[in-house]
Chain A
Amino acid sequence: MYNKSLTQSVILFVPVILVGLGIMMIYSASSIAAAERFHDGMYFLKKQALFGLCGIGCMLVMMRIPYGFFKRCAYPLWGASIGLLVLVLIPGIGVKVGGAVRWLHLGPLSFQPAELAKLSVVILLAYCLAKKENERLKDFSIGVLPHLLLVMPMCLLIVIQPDFGTCMMIVVLLFVMLFAAGIKKRFVLGLGSIGLVAAALLIAAKSYRMERLMTFLDPWKDSTGAGFQIVQSFLAFGSGGFFGAGIGRGTQKLLYLPEPHTDFILAVIGEEMGFIGVVFVIGLFVTIVACGIKIAMNSYDLFGTYLALGIIVLIGLQTVINMGVVMGLLPTKGIPLPFLSYGGTALLVDMSCMGILLSISEQCHFMGKA
């Protein structure tokens, strides 16, 4: 059953709830550090609140743009993303933080091209896949190769930053989209194995990636060294228990949990709001994914289907990967938790995605209701 107004309400309000929760937890997690670093405990709160408002603005704008418009944007956006990714690599333009160049500074604002790249990949794939008849997609040179050629340069530029996590996520996104489009099973398997081999090579190429992998396998072995971060995250979750320590009462965020307001925001939620809080957050993401899937399956045309699917896979994957990382199910990667983690570019892109979803849902046909 598809209930348009309910679905739209979910896509409209749930992200806003998440952003609100995020702002609260970011404040809780960062106020001490912010007071020390910027002499303003509200520093991150203010910035994220501003981004949140801008994000809501983006969403409202996007939902009013008929999504067909993005067909025309597909290639320009792809080009722009490639351009920005190249730009970020040029010394003196890209900003290096923690050993990786991921940011471009635009006056007082900083911008992460990889975030935009993710969205541009989604739009491009939706456009390309929707253009082609299903039968033609079965052909490798039509269904697989062009997409690979379009996406791979982007992956390459991102992995050079280096941002292995985002790169892998885009590869998985591509893989899922091609699977949905119905390419032959053997291509799926073949692509899968090639991806795995490539990932293995990339891991082996950098000693720190190998270390991360080993740490992931047994974080307790070196709980004060390489395993420190993840062990501290475990401790945050564990000490939260079922009901949590209470908002603002967590202690792990103070000194032990690194970057608690960005990637590890869920650990802070886990400590302060307990298992109940974590289940609540997971539940919100499940409703977003479920509604996104509904929109994809009921969209007016194929482009809408692919676009909605791409968006939901993008958001869903980031969520699942982030949760897996903070709870020690996946090796540590710099993937933020959509809507909740501190970070302007990601928030604007995620909210824009929600806007596009709403735009698609606007033109859904009313199956079941009719």
Chain B
Amino acid sequence: MVKMKSRNELSRNISFIAMGFMVLFSIATLRAYFLQVLKSGELTELIQSQYRTSVELMPHRGTVYDRNGAELAASIEVESLYAHPGLIRDTRAAAKLLAPILDLPLHAVYRDLTSSKPFVWVQRKVTPTQAEQIRALKIEGLGFLKESQRFYPQKEIAAQVLGFVGVDSQGLEGIERQYDSIIKGKSRKLFADRDAKGRHVFVEGLQPSDQSRQGNDLLLSLDKNIQYIAEKELQAAVTLSQAKSGTAIVMDPWTGEVLASAVCPLFNPNQRSETDPDAWRNRAITDIYEPGSTFKTFSIASAIEEGTVKPTDMFFCENGAYHIASHVIHDHGSYGWLDVANIIKHSSNIGASKISRQLGKEQLYQYIRRFGFTAETGISLPAEQSGFMPSLKNCSEHTQGAISFGQSITVTPLQMVTAYSSIANGGMLMQPQIVKRIVDSTGAVVKQNTPVMKRRVISEKTAGIMRDMLKQVVAPGGTGTKAAVEGYVVAGKTGTSQKIDQGGYSHSKVMASFAGFVPADAPRLAIIVLVDEPQRMKFGGEIAAPAFSRMANAILNYLHVPPDAAPAQDPGLLKEIRTEPVKLAKLDEA
């Protein structure tokens, strides 16, 4: 009986254990249900994310053209070498074969080929010869993807305006940077999945990027040939005077379109790594300078516009030394009584400061701002400077005098040429523009920029008076006679400003400049030429004026502008202005 009893107890315990097992197996089943039915979707999503790897491919970057459709910046297709490290059978041998072709250290290639990643770039943008040699090796696990490489077919031309791109085709400077989002297009992600053998394969294959993802093209206002002329003549002036650098801008005074924007020294963006980063800057907008005598045009125009001074008024020029409080203002020559035209013609600082005194500093400041100084022009280029002048309440009588002849105020070359354009076109301050059109890859116009008048600064009458005075500068006896162009009347002004050096004005470092327009009575071009720190021929009239002359001569010829005898205003240009919508919103801006 004892045995029976123990047997029963044993049976009971075994049943208990059996039940325990059934409970455990039920839990396992429920767990499987939870993972495989309830959470299946969530986990499947997770799994896909880990199977997928992606490679970002840059699309074809848009082309930048000049106004006539010449390519300034283009993208060419080049091949980049990639590897699926897991697929390479003999990594060591492959690395030994590749390294000399790619001219890379063996260990670097070996490291790439042994990467645990499913996809690695071995070398971006290889040459066609390298690609051919590597293809001939027939190494499994290597492949090429087409990428686009930026190329500047005109080499140095307009390099500082265009800027350049980085290795991933991202715009780093200039137009390339400012318009990066517009011309770069949509990048394309290539997804790679694992095939049945665990290898990565590209899902959609590796076709070259489709059209819809391509970047937009830009049509600039620049003219390749005008740009070339400007650069050539500027370079010649800089070389001749042994200057540090130079800047020149050619603008259509009626539209504000920049036709050329040259900076010396030049650099070739195709070989950017071999050039001095100092040369990459677009000095036309990034560098400010004291304009010197070229600025007198605006202080005097303001006084005439306000009526505080009549062109026939005479001013005593103190025989070359004018005491204001504790300061002395000097002229280059010793002048007695001069009328306004002769003050400009002989570039009398004393005369200019006396004229501005009659205008009053509040009015002077207002006009300076209306001419567009001390504010960014809003041209669509990166890193534009605004320049500055002392605040009104800190402006002493002497400071006011200094401003009137272009000291104590800083401007950019672009502001200056835009302001001269307003004299040339009869008093309208135009919005400077560099991009005329944005066109998509199918050729449809995305955006068309039309000339925009920011405001009228002075009346046509005042502008006409100024134009006549500026003609005198270039006429015999003036400071800018060397700016004259045979067959055309030139209006302009020289400037020679001492640069600030170690706290004071330097006697040896100057900025020599000439700003003007031509033909004076039917202007087609407004041009500024700046020569920074010339070692010889240190006056604007000596170095910048001749450069202006040669530039203007070549450009007028190129544009087939008839020699003077042309009507007072070119009807073609006027028509363009009037038929295209002009934004008036900014007219009342102070």
- Shortest distance from the beta carbon of A243 to any chain B beta carbon, whole Å: 10
* Distance of A135 Cα from B9 Cα, bound (Å): 11
* Distance of A239 Cα from B6 Cα, bound (Å): 50
Which residues of A sit under 8 angstroms from B14, Cβ to Cβ? 180, 293, 296-297, 305, 309
Which residues of A sit under 8 angstroms from B36, Cβ to Cβ? 237-238, 240-242, 270, 274-275, 278
Among A238, A285, A290, contact of B47 (Cβ-Cβ < 8 Å): A238
The B interface is mostly helix, strand or loop, or mixed, namely: helix
Which residues of A sit under 8 angstroms from B11, Cβ to Cβ? 297
Which residues of A sit under 8 angstroms from B44, Cβ to Cβ? 238-239, 241
Binds B, one of A149-157, A323-331, A350-358: A323-331
Which residues of A sit under 8 angstroms from B568, Cβ to Cβ? none
Interface status of A235 (Cβ within 8 A of chain B): yes
Are B5 and A134 in contact, with the CB atoms below 8 A? yes
Are B194 and A282 in contact, with the CB atoms below 8 A? no
Interface status of B28 (Cβ within 8 A of chain A): yes
Interface status of A17 (Cβ within 8 A of chain B): no
Are A275 and B21 in contact, with the CB atoms below 8 A? no
* Distance of A274 Cα from B39 Cα, bound (Å): 13
* Distance of A327 Cα from B15 Cα, bound (Å): 27
Interface status of B29 (Cβ within 8 A of chain A): yes
Q: How many A-B residue pairs have CB under 8 A?
A: 132
* Distance of A275 Cα from B37 Cα, bound (Å): 7
Interface status of B276 (Cβ within 8 A of chain A): no
Interface residues of B in 527-573 (CB under 8 A from A): none
Interface status of A65 (Cβ within 8 A of chain B): no
- Shortest distance from the beta carbon of B300 to any chain A beta carbon, whole Å: 74
Which residues of B sit under 8 angstroms from A309, Cβ to Cβ? 14, 17
- Shortest distance from the beta carbon of A351 to any chain B beta carbon, whole Å: 20
The answer to whether A282 and B32 touch (CB under 8 A), given A238-B39, A238-B44, is yes
- Shortest distance from the beta carbon of A120 to any chain B beta carbon, whole Å: 21
Interface status of A160 (Cβ within 8 A of chain B): no
Which residues of B sit under 8 angstroms from A296, Cβ to Cβ? 14
Are A242 and B40 in contact, with the CB atoms below 8 A? yes
Interface residues of A in 222-266 (CB under 8 A from B): 234-235, 237-242, 249, 251-252, 254-256
Are A285 and B198 in contact, with the CB atoms below 8 A? no
Are B37 and A180 in contact, with the CB atoms below 8 A? no
- Shortest distance from the beta carbon of A67 to any chain B beta carbon, whole Å: 17
* Distance of A181 Cα from B43 Cα, bound (Å): 45
Interface status of A25 (Cβ within 8 A of chain B): no
Interface residues of B in 1-47 (CB under 8 A from A): 2-3, 5-7, 9-11, 13-18, 21-22, 24-25, 27-29, 31-33, 35-37, 39-40, 42-44, 46-47
* Distance of A198 Cα from B197 Cα, bound (Å): 46
* Distance of A131 Cα from B36 Cα, bound (Å): 48
Minimal Cβ-Cβ distance residue in B for A31: B197
Interface status of B505 (Cβ within 8 A of chain A): no
Are A286 and B39 in contact, with the CB atoms below 8 A? no
Are A239 and B47 in contact, with the CB atoms below 8 A? yes
Which residues of B sit under 8 angstroms from A180, Cβ to Cβ? 10, 13-14, 17
Interface size on B, residues (CB 8 A): 40
- Shortest distance from the beta carbon of A236 to any chain B beta carbon, whole Å: 8
* Distance of A133 Cα from B36 Cα, bound (Å): 49
* Distance of A297 Cα from B29 Cα, bound (Å): 26
Interface status of B579 (Cβ within 8 A of chain A): no
* Distance of A323 Cα from B32 Cα, bound (Å): 9
Which residues of A sit under 8 angstroms from B31, Cβ to Cβ? 323-324, 327-329
- Shortest distance from the beta carbon of B88 to any chain A beta carbon, whole Å: 13
Are B32 and A270 in contact, with the CB atoms below 8 A? yes
* Distance of A297 Cα from B13 Cα, bound (Å): 10
* Distance of A56 Cα from B18 Cα, bound (Å): 26
Which residues of A sit under 8 angstroms from B337, Cβ to Cβ? none
- Shortest distance from the beta carbon of A123 to any chain B beta carbon, whole Å: 18
Interface status of B50 (Cβ within 8 A of chain A): yes
Minimal Cβ-Cβ distance residue in B for A254: B198
Interface status of A279 (Cβ within 8 A of chain B): yes
Minimal Cβ-Cβ distance residue in A for B6: A134
Which residues of A sit under 8 angstroms from B28, Cβ to Cβ? 282, 320, 323-324, 327, 329
Q: What string of 1s and 0s marks CB contacts (under 8 Å) between A113-141 and chain B?
A: 00000000000000000000111000000
- Shortest distance from the beta carbon of A127 to any chain B beta carbon, whole Å: 15
Are B35 and A270 in contact, with the CB atoms below 8 A? yes
* Distance of A237 Cα from B41 Cα, bound (Å): 11
* Distance of A256 Cα from B198 Cα, bound (Å): 10
Interface status of A289 (Cβ within 8 A of chain B): yes
Q: What string of 1s and 0s marks CB contacts (under 8 Å) between A180-201 and chain B?
A: 1110000000000000000000
Are B42 and A282 in contact, with the CB atoms below 8 A? no
Interface status of A32 (Cβ within 8 A of chain B): yes
Are A329 and B27 in contact, with the CB atoms below 8 A? yes
Interface status of A82 (Cβ within 8 A of chain B): no
* Distance of A275 Cα from B43 Cα, bound (Å): 14
Interface status of B51 (Cβ within 8 A of chain A): yes
Minimal Cβ-Cβ distance residue in B for A224: B50
Interface residues of A in 317-352 (CB under 8 A from B): 320, 323-324, 327-329
Interface status of A20 (Cβ within 8 A of chain B): no
* Distance of A305 Cα from B9 Cα, bound (Å): 13
Minimal Cβ-Cβ distance residue in B for A253: B198
Which residues of B sit under 8 angstroms from A316, Cβ to Cβ? 21, 24
Q: What string of 1s and 0s marks CB contacts (under 8 Å) between A281-297 and chain B?
A: 01001100110010011
Interface status of A13 (Cβ within 8 A of chain B): no
* Distance of A286 Cα from B44 Cα, bound (Å): 29
Which residues of B sit under 8 angstroms from A182, Cβ to Cβ? 6, 9-10, 13
* Distance of A176 Cα from B20 Cα, bound (Å): 11
Q: Nearest 5 pairs between A and B by C-beta?
A: A238-B43, A134-B6, A254-B198, A275-B36, A237-B35
Chosen A-B contacts, 24 in total, with CB atoms closer than 8 Å, are A133-B2, A133-B6, A180-B13, A235-B47, A235-B50, A237-B32, A237-B35, A238-B35, A238-B42, A238-B43, A240-B36, A254-B194, A254-B197, A270-B36, A278-B32, A282-B32, A290-B18, A293-B17, A305-B14, A320-B21, A324-B24, A324-B31, A327-B28, A329-B27
Which residues does B use to contact A, with CB under 8 Å? 2-3, 5-7, 9-11, 13-18, 21-22, 24-25, 27-29, 31-33, 35-37, 39-40, 42-44, 46-47, 50-51, 194, 196-198
Given A251-B198, A289-B21, A320-B24, 17 other A-B residues pairs in contact with their CB atoms under 8 A: A32-B198, A133-B2, A133-B6, A134-B3, A235-B43, A235-B50, A238-B44, A239-B43, A242-B37, A270-B32, A275-B33, A282-B29, A282-B32, A293-B18, A297-B11, A305-B14, A327-B32
